[in-house]
Amino acid sequence: MDIMPPLSPDRRRALTPYRRKYETELFERVIPFWEQHSVDRTHGGYYNCLDRDGTVYDTTKHAWLQGRQVWMFSTLYREAEARAEWLEIARLGMAFLRTHALRDNGQVFFALTEDGQPIYQQRKIFSEAFYVMALAEYGRAAERPDLVQEAKDELALLWDWAYDWSEVGRPVHGGQTPTQQLVVPMILLHLIDVVAGGDASDYAAEVDDCLRRIQMHVHAETKTVRENVAPDGSLIDSPAGRLLSPGHAIENGWFVHHWADELGRDELHTLATNMIRWSHERGWDDEYGGLFYFLDAEGYSPTQLEWFMKLWWVHCEALYGHLLNYALTGDEADWAAFEQVDAYIFEHFADPEHGEWFGYLDRQGNVTHRFKGAPYKGCFHVPRALWLCIQLLDEMVAA
């Protein structure tokens, strides 16, 4: 990443405590939690449903989290330290997915029993997406080019399904409003980054298409990033069309920053910076702190009953997103937003007693669910955000 403005000596010194804190949190509290409690060395794969202290409270295994954990340990093996145990943990998850979760038609079961019997399959594309991430990253870590090629083949299949979920069994009804979801080009863009491995020349058209679609969700006149728009990018006047998800928008923002750097396109940096800033300005709870889960762009009450909750992954994305904005712009407002999110995280989410982070808080910041792992919370957002911040802080200090 091209770090643009030079840092003052005072600011450079201020980075060191954050770097030290994130390294300690990642390698002494977060990764050890998953190493000690999640790995199933009998059946393969990982236990996802872990109580506050790591006790397994449900043996169901969820493909999203299996794939994400394979990706995480493979990434740490490749980028942090080539620890044999990390690669073995990744292998156990990859083998479980390939043996039990992958269907002959390329679809991936969402939930499986402890020993790999299928329980449920979503009629979406996200189990397959995280399977692709796992294949590509583990393939490189294990020096298995055949798995990297398999990931490319699976991505091609996924691309065919992405904008027509009837291809994966989801019915289309006559009264449905034609809609494009932000999450689809977002996940495809990220998959290309993972699968391409630094050389995305074969995916130039697909990258351009994803970026074009993402921009359709960004509305400068209202400074909003809409989760759902019409296929032509026009606004939809409904709760779905007014839906804002600050976490998704910020995550999209840093994805776009990475591609702006890769492609050398400054206008994409501007787009990404605004996506992150606008989403924080809209999403921050001035009364109690933290970022809301959902909002309505016109100020109506969101129909999601959990809209006011504060979720771990939203703050993980904001932590890295604001730090990246600051690294690229040098704007003190971006630094202030980074510090604000960091303070909220370590006051409310981090658990110094048992490690890892709580996932779900009420509006006032009280823990609502004591578990550390659940069907949608696993070994991914927390370690990924910490690792991205560590790497970026190293670049900023060295610049």
202 found inside a domain? no
Angle subtended by helix axes 332-348 and 266-283, to nearest 10:
50
- What is the Cα–Cα distance from 107 to 300, expressed in whole angstroms? 38
343 found inside a domain? yes
- The pLDDT tens digits of the residues spanning 295-331 come to 999 999 999 999 999 999 999 999 999 999 999 999 9
In total, how many domains does the chain have? 1
DSSP letters spanning 9-76 = HHHHHHHHHHHHHHHHIIIIIIHHHHHHHTB-TTTSSB--EE-TTS-EEE--EEHHHHHHHHHHHHHH
Label residue 49 by pLDDT band (50, 70, 90).
very high
User: Residue 229, SS3?
Assistant: strand
Residue ranges making up the domain that contains 343: 172-182+217-399
**What share of the chain in percent tops pLDDT 70?**
99
Average pLDDT of 37-56? 98
Residue 257 structure tokens: 């920053």
58 found inside a domain? no
Q: Mean pLDDT in the chain?
A: 96
Beta strand pairing status for 56-58 and 61-62?
unpaired
- The pLDDT tens digits of the residues spanning 177-218 come to 999 999 999 999 999 999 999 899 999 999 999 999 999 999
Residue 150 structure tokens: 């398999």
371 found inside a domain? yes
391 found inside a domain? yes
CATH number, domain containing residue 368 = 1.50.10.10
SS3 per residue for 90-138: HHHHHHHHHHHHECCCCCECCEECCCCCEEECCCCCHHHHHHHHHHHHH
User: Does pTM top 0.85 for this prediction?
Assistant: yes
- The pLDDT tens digits of the residues spanning 251-302 come to 999 999 999 999 999 999 999 999 999 999 999 999 999 999 999 999 999 9
Q: CA-based Rg of the chain, rounded to a whole angstrom?
A: 20
243 found inside a domain? yes
230 found inside a domain? yes
206 found inside a domain? no
**What share of the chain in percent tops pLDDT 90?**
94
- The pLDDT tens digits of the residues spanning 56-87 come to 999 999 999 999 999 999 999 999 999 999 99
